[in-house]
Structures are given as structure tokens and as C-alpha cells.
Chains A and B, each alone.
Chain A
Amino acid sequence: KAGVTQTPRYLIKTRGQQVTLSCSPISGHRSVSWYQQTPGQGLQFLFEYFSETQRNKGNFPGRFSGRQFSNSRSEMNVSTLELGDSALYLCASSPGTMGEKLFFGSGTQLSVL
């Protein structure tokens, strides 16, 4: 099976712009979750989508949003970018039940100038 695919790998944006990141999960996986990784805050959970519905949400402002399509692919959107949004954004997929392992993609490195 193919792994979790995230596109693009790198992205450079300026303050105030918006950005959309994409994640294709492992075939058959219905859960997609998103994490932000920064040197200062470490790895933080953004949100999880399961069968096209947001199932869990972390403590991030409303500028961060996402969605999931019927084929389980997910997109994450950040509006009105701030310098502090510069981070590695990781996507993880799993079948969706509690004990299952999460499989991660290689991430999208976002730089906000």
C-alpha cells in the first residue's frame, strides 16, 4: 500500500495570505488528523476528520480549518497567515478506532514571511 502523501512539501507565503495543504491517507483509512510541529511548541494536535466529519479539535484559532472528502483525502486551510504559523504540518491517517496506529506523511514545511 502507498503511504500517506502530503502536498506540497514546501510552501512560502506572506503574512495575510491564505494557504491550503493536502493529505491523501493510506487506502482504506477513514481517519485523517493534522498536527503542527514547531521548535517552540513541539507537536500539537490541530483536528481529526473521520468519514467527512470533524471528530476532534485541538486548541487552535478559527483561522485553522479543514475538511475531508468522500475518498478520505483531507485538506487543511489557514487563513490570514501570521509569522507564527511557520511550521511543519504533519498529516496522519488511521483506520479510525481507538487503539490503531497512526501513520504519518512527510509533512508540509510552511514558511510565512
Chain B
Amino acid sequence: AQTVTQSQPEMSVQEAETVTLSCTYDTSESNYYLFWYKQPPSRQMILVIRQEAYKQQNATENRFSVNFQKAAKSFSLKISDSQLGDTAMYFCAFKTGANNLFFGTGTRLTVIP
């Protein structure tokens, strides 16, 4: 079975500080892709970052970076210099051979001014 677990339902961080969101997953596939999406109150799902499982190097997009531990099946998201606009639900997801995403339950992040 393909599962994604986000163990932190809610988190908060002070503006300009750093926060890490956790994600673990389970799959028997060897080739897959991992994603973090954010969903602000507007409800639109916005891609934050993507990681190919066959790449050892951790993906980075500006203030967002991941810590990908393939053996542990862990894929955490680090947000540096947090901004008020980062307040949103964050979903960890992955997909294998089929073009459909398996999502975690989400972490609600609040950035405090």
C-alpha cells in the first residue's frame, strides 16, 4: 500500500525564523517522485518543491529545501526566513508509475508576526 504520514497536524513559527515539517511515506516502488504542496485559504494547491527519488541531492527552491532520506523513507520540508505569506496547509505527496498523487493529511502552518 502507498501511504504518506504527516505527524504534525499544526505548527507555528515566528516570522523570519526557520521551521521544518515532517513527512514519512511507504511504497514498494523503487522509482517515484516526492512533492510538497501548499494550500492557502484560496484553496488552490501550489507546488512548493519536487524531489526525484533516484537523486541523492536534496532539492532546493529559494527559501524551501528538503531533507530526503530514502532508506528511512523520510521527506521533510525546511522553510527558512518564514514569511506571513507562508501561512497555509502543507501537504506531502508522492507518485509512482501512475500519474496520480498520494497525499498526506497535511500540516497547518501559521507564521506569527
Binding site for B on A (CB under 8 A): 31, 33, 35, 42-45, 48, 50, 55-56, 58, 88, 90, 92, 94, 96-107, 109
Contacts and interface: CB of A to CB of B under 8 A. Distances in A.
B42 A106 contact: yes
B44 A98 contact: no
Given A56-B99, A88-B43, A104-B46, 13 more contacts: A33-B100, A43-B91, A48-B99, A50-B99, A56-B100, A98-B31, A98-B95, A99-B52, A102-B35, A102-B47, A102-B101, A104-B45, A106-B44
B83 to A, nearest CB: 22
Contacts, number: 61
A33 B99 contact: yes
B50 interface: yes
Interface size class of B (residues with CB under 8 A): 20 to 34
Contact of A42 (B50, B97, B99, B103): B103
Contact of A45 (B101, B104, B106): B101
A30 B99 CA distance: 12
Given A43-B91, A99-B33, A101-B35, A107 B44 contact: yes
B105 interface: yes
A96 B99 contact: yes
A103 B52 contact: no
A92 B91 CA distance: 15
Contact of A98 (B91, B99, B106): B99
Q: Across chains A and B, which 3 residue pairs bring their CB atoms closest together, nearest first? A: A104-B45, A43-B103, A45-B100
